[in-house]
């Protein structure tokens, strides 16, 4: 469906933070396209969007593997042909393969680097040129508190998320005069399937260390993303916005 609304593309859009971000951006008037890479994972997203009663001209899905540069090129071209130019890009696709470094396989390293970091190149590269040509764009990259803090069992994940921060600041400099802002949001521990997979005793220790004493809701992260994606954040670029219940207070 071609739309008069600004189009927002959210990679990993059917995950926990992704779904909340889609809902929030759609409620704020964007036409939101949720990318997903694993067939069958979109069911909960469809229900969440239906429950939110956003109307007909609000959301769509786009299948594609974020680790595949050519596939992302084809997906972006299709999204733009179907709905219109991408004005907002949220790079949210991410996985964990937590294990101590001494047990980490080459595969676990590459899966996380490819999905969490190379994906940001793979999608942004196909979107940024159009934003620059049109003189308006918002790119929001989802990093993590563990990018700068490190985390036992997350050498691969922390490296990828720290890479996103360098990517964000560097690209922000390159497009700062072109009407395109590039920012990061670094969530702490959020109520998602990703944190539900942490061993209960380990998760208990982690939650106990959060100054606010609880995990974030996905909506609390989506609010930060929506702000940076909005016209209200026009003068903000190259920043990292932590949303972590105070975990950054002790970094």
Residue positions annotated with a catalytic role: 157
Given phi > 0 = left and psi -120 to 50 = alpha, else beta, which region is 93?
beta
Which helix (H) or strand (E) segment holds residue 162: the answer is: helix 155-175
Near ligand CAA by CB under 6 A: residue from 11, 35, 67, 96: 96
Q: Are 238 and 169 in contact (CB under 8 A)?
A: yes
First to last CA, the chain: 46
Binding to ligand CAA by residue 119, rule CB under 6 A? no
Q: How buried is 232 (Cβ within 10 angstroms: 0-12 exposed, 13-18 middle, 19+ buried)? A: exposed
| Calpha distance 50→58 (Å, rounded) | 11
Which residue has the closest beta carbon to ligand CAA? 153
Binding to ligand CAA by residue 101, rule CB under 6 A? no
Binding to ligand CAA by residue 137, rule CB under 6 A? no
Report, in Å, the least distance between residue 72 CB and ligand CAA.
23
Near ligand CAA by CB under 6 A: residue from 153, 163, 242, 245: 153
Which residues in the 54-73 window bind ligand CAA by CB under 6 A? none
Phi first, then psi: what are they for 130, rounded to 5°? -65, -40
Near ligand CAA by CB under 6 A: residue from 12, 22, 24, 98: 98
Give every CB contact of residue 232 below 8 A, 6+ residues apart in sequence.
Answer: none
Binding to ligand CAA by residue 124, rule CB under 6 A? no
Binding to ligand CAA by residue 148, rule CB under 6 A? no
Binding to ligand CAA by residue 100, rule CB under 6 A? yes
Give every CB contact of residue 205 below 8 A, 6+ residues apart in sequence.
Answer: none
Which residues in the 154-183 window bind ligand CAA by CB under 6 A? 154, 157
Near ligand CAA by CB under 6 A: residue from 48, 61, 194, 233: 194
Binding site for ligand CAA (CB under 6 A): 96, 98-100, 144-146, 151-154, 157, 187-189, 194-195, 198-199, 202, 206
């Amino acid at each position: 469906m071609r739309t008069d609304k600004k189009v927002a593309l959210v990679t990993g859009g059917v995950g926990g933070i992704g779904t909340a971000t889609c809902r929030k951006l759609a409620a704020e008037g964007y036409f939101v396209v949720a990318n997903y890479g694993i067939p069958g994972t979109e069911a909960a997203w469809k229900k969440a969007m239906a429950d939110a009663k956003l109307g007909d001209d609000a959301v769509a899905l786009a299948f594609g593997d974020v680790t595949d540069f050519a596939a992302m090129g084809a997906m972006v071209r299709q999204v733009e042909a179907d709905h219109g130019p991408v004005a907002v890009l949220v790079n949210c696709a991410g996985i964990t393969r937590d294990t101590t470094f001494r047990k980490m396989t080459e595969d676990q390293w590459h899966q996380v680097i490819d999905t969490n970091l190379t994906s940001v190149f793979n999608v942004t590269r196909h979107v940024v040129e159009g934003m620059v040509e049109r003189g308006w764009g918002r790119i929001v990259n989802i990093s993590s508190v563990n990018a700068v803090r490190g985390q036992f069992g997350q050498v691969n994940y922390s490296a990828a998320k720290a890479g996103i921060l360098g990517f964000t600041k560097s690209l922000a400099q390159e497009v700062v005069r072109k009407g395109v802002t590039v920012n990061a949001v670094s969530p702490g521990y959020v109520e998602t399937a990703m944190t539900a997979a942490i061993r209960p005793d380990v998760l208990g220790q982690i939650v106990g260390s959060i100054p606010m004493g609880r995990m974030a809701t996905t909506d609390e992260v989506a609010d930060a993303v929506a702000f940076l994606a909005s016209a209200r954040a026009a003068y903000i670029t190259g920043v990292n916005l932590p949303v972590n219940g105070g975990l950054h207070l002790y970094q």
